[in-house]
Amino acid sequence: MPGSPDNSAQDVYARRARYFDSGNAFNLEYAEVPATAFAAERDHALDLSAGTAWIACDQSAALGLNFPATTPLVLAGYARVRAGETLELNPRATTVLGFVIEGSGCVKQGRDAIDWHRGDAFSLPGGEPLRLVSNVTSDSVVWIVSNEPQLAFERLSPPLGRDALVEAAHFPAATIRAELERARARLLGQSEVAGLAVVFSSQGLEQRRNISPTLTLAMNQLPPGGYQVPHSHNSVAVSLAVDGERCYSKVDGTRKDWSPYITMVTPAKSVHSHHNEGGKNANWLIVQDGGIYYHCRTMGFRFEEPQHR
């Protein structure tokens, strides 16, 4: 139902005004966030014979948005870079996160340069183009996630230089593995924790315990036979399946099987659980728009009633 204009107004500013009331102002209905698994995009990204390219996990049409988006505030995708080649990206974002699926190389942005190898993660601010340079000895695939839809929603530009809050930071694969081992030992026997996870942050954002003011980044792990109990939260989750076999999630009662390096969306407020029926550890990288909810004190994490495994 459209708002009511003042057709008798004498100036352009008053004629521009619209009015709603308590009967039609609060019953907003937006398209639901689909619980999508981006298999075709993953397959396209891993087809290294197809050349250097950026493959977005874009479901903006389903969300009713006029800009690329995986969820309302997050855009994920795959950067495929042939050996010895460079892919330049220039997301209008304040946060750019990367995880190296295959290959080795370097990401360059302004004066910053981070050498990476398979299994590494990194963070960068927005505001400047970044170049992914693959070593001459190997083709590369890098999972890239940003908050570009967040800025597109308000037509904002990212802060530049010292005004940027997100820092260039490197999280080597070996250190991630060691931190998972340390977390497992520390959390052993504790029942009231949200699974086993290592949360990434940086020096400047250490007090927030997150990678950016609005996004969170964590590597989660389930042991063989492990089961993360049903839970829900107000943030959406965009996940990359990194390791594991015979793993799946249940999202609002629907089974979602994992496959290597697939990007999966878990909608906000959905009741979901994770299951590892294989013989080795399962690892999956999760980006959430949780920083916003932590800041507003509205994350709403809760364990739900037990479901049949």
Flag whether 101 is in a domain.
yes
Domain count, the chain: 1
Sequence-distant (≥ 6) Cβ neighbours of residue 21 within 8 angstroms: none
Q: What is the pLDDT of residues 179-212, one digit of tens each?
A: 999 998 888 766 555 578 999 999 999 888 899 9
Flag whether 74 is in a domain.
yes
Nearest alpha-carbon partner for 215 in 123, 111, 113: 123
Selected residue with higher pLDDT from 16 and 3: 16
Phi, psi of 61 (to 5 degrees): -60, -45
- The pLDDT of residue 105 is 98
Flag whether 14 is in a domain.
no
For the segment 115-135, the average pLDDT, to the nearest whole number, is: 96
Q: What is the pTM of this model?
A: 0.93
SS3 62: helix
Flag whether 68 is in a domain.
yes
User: What CATH number does residue 102 fall under?
Assistant: 2.60.120.10
Spell out where 111-162 has E strands.
Answer: 112-116, 121-124, 130-134, 140-146
- The pLDDT of residue 74 is 98
Provide the mean pLDDT of the chain: 92
Flag whether 130 is in a domain.
yes
For the segment 89-110, the average pLDDT, to the nearest whole number, is: 97
- The pLDDT of residue 190 is 67
Q: Half-sphere exposure of residue 142, counting CA atoms within 13 Å on the CB side?
A: 37
For residue 169, CA distances in Å to 174, 177, 263 come to 15, 17, 23
Flag whether 129 is in a domain.
yes
Amino acid making up residue 265: V
Flag whether 34 is in a domain.
no
For the segment 159-182, the average pLDDT, to the nearest whole number, is: 93
Sequence-distant (≥ 6) Cβ neighbours of residue 157 within 8 angstroms: 92, 127, 151
Nearest alpha-carbon partner for 66 in 157, 155, 156: 155
Q: What is the pLDDT of residues 51-86, one digit of tens each?
A: 999 999 999 999 999 999 999 999 999 999 999 999
Write out the residue range of the structural domain in which residue 179 sits: 39-303
Q: Half-sphere exposure of residue 294, counting CA atoms within 13 Å on the CB side?
A: 14
Flag whether 28 is in a domain.
no
For the segment 137-158, the average pLDDT, to the nearest whole number, is: 96
